[in-house]
Amino acid sequence: MTVDDTTRTVAPVRAAEELELKRDEFRLAVRMGLVRTVPNPAAVPDPRGAHRDRSPERRPVARSELDRLMAAPDFPDGLRERVRAVGAGEAAGLLSIAYDRFNRLARTGHLSPVRFYLNRYRAVVWLYLAAEVAAFGEENPGLLTGRLPAEVRERDAAGEDLRARNWRSRHLSLLLRGTDDPWARAAAIASLLDPVQVAEVVDDPYERTYLDRLRPSPPPGVPVAGATHETAVRLVRADDPDEILWHRMSLALALDEARAARQAPYPGERRRPAPEPSLMEAPAPEDPPAAQAPGRAEPEREVGPAARPVPGPPGRPRGGRGAPPPGRAAGARRRPGLLGRIRRALPGGAIASGGWGEGRDWS
């Protein structure tokens, strides 16, 4: 293996073609860890260390990884068979059982779906790994023939359906396997909860925004819009009370690990421009600048009643605190301490209401 083989990468579309996999098969192979990808160098890094390259199946594949997979003795049939997903009808055929019997076994949690999609009738179609279906038949021959156990019949009669829950559990494990970033792992857990549930666990709005930015892309089979989108969203989010509680606890623990690694970015961390000094807050002449420590701002002065703006006569625009007088630009600066010196020169140290100084331009 040369240096070029270890550094060269191939785009996901080209990698799927060379591995003779369909698009969905390639995505599943990456999620399952059968095909290892590398971080996308074109991904925009987050200011706090994460990357916006959130989907592992969108990352490039190293040339050395392709060479390793294609050097296997069972390539390409072996790799393709490990990611082949079948529906309930084909899965029942693999086990040589009736379609209804297979669905009863799947609903009671004996088999876990790996994917789903919604057909044109808005019905959910669950897909299973053919290799797992065959292994289930070899390990549980008693469930394939004869009468089903009483426990299975009772659970099925009660309307139990664990297909969506088992799929979410598998989907989350695949998401967690695809990243090492603690905040991205917390975002993967949060993607299975309703926003209200997330807000109850994550009370900081900036952390919720950060988790939303790192939210993984929707799984294959989830429509982006339309009536079927709502149905798919209900399948993605946890709905059972104990499942919701489990994910809430997992999210709280994941947040503790993420906060220990680094804090979520806050808008206040950016450098804010220094506010312009107001006329009423101008430093007095007796405060020598040399007495201040280098790099330390002067403490804010307490403004007494005498320094409040005086209301003008009816019909005259009333200037607010630090507002420029008529004819002066908003960005123009006054002479520092001018009004303070004038105030001290007057009897009582204040400008009386209705006196000669009312409404004058002190520039």
Whether residue 283 is contained in a domain is answered as no
Whether residue 141 is contained in a domain is answered as yes
Whether residue 328 is contained in a domain is answered as no
Tell me: do 251 and 238 sit in the same domain.
yes
Spans of the chain below 50 pLDDT: 1-3, 44-45, 47, 49, 51-52, 270-285, 288-310, 312-336, 338-339, 341-342, 345, 347, 349-363
d(CA 50, CA 44): 9
**For residues 327 and 337, is the Cβ–Cβ distance under 8 A?**
no
Structure tokens at 82: 């490990």
User: Mind listing the pLDDT tens digit for each residue in 44-101?
Assistant: 445 454 544 556 778 899 999 999 999 999 999 999 999 999 999 999 999 999 999 9
Whether residue 290 is contained in a domain is answered as no
Read off φ and ψ for residue 124, nearest 5 degrees: -80, 125
Residue in 13, 117, 17, 25 with CA at minimum distance from that of residue 58? 13
Whether residue 341 is contained in a domain is answered as no
Whether residue 11 is contained in a domain is answered as yes
Tell me: do 62 and 117 sit in the same domain.
no
Whether residue 249 is contained in a domain is answered as yes
Domain with 179, as residue range(s), is 163-263
Tell me: do 119 and 194 sit in the same domain.
no
Whether residue 247 is contained in a domain is answered as yes
Residue in 164, 70, 85, 67 with CA at minimum distance from that of residue 130? 85
Predicted local distance difference test score (pLDDT) of residue 227: 74
d(CA 79, CA 52): 29
Tell me: do 88 and 98 sit in the same domain.
yes
Tell me: do 127 and 191 sit in the same domain.
no
Q: What is the pTM assigned to this prediction?
A: 0.68
The widest CA-to-CA distance across the chain, in whole angstroms, is 109
**Domain finish residue from 242, 263, 284:** 263
- If one counts the domains in the chain, the total is 3
Tell me: do 149 and 76 sit in the same domain.
no
DSSP secondary structure letter of residue 56: G
Tell me: do 88 and 121 sit in the same domain.
yes
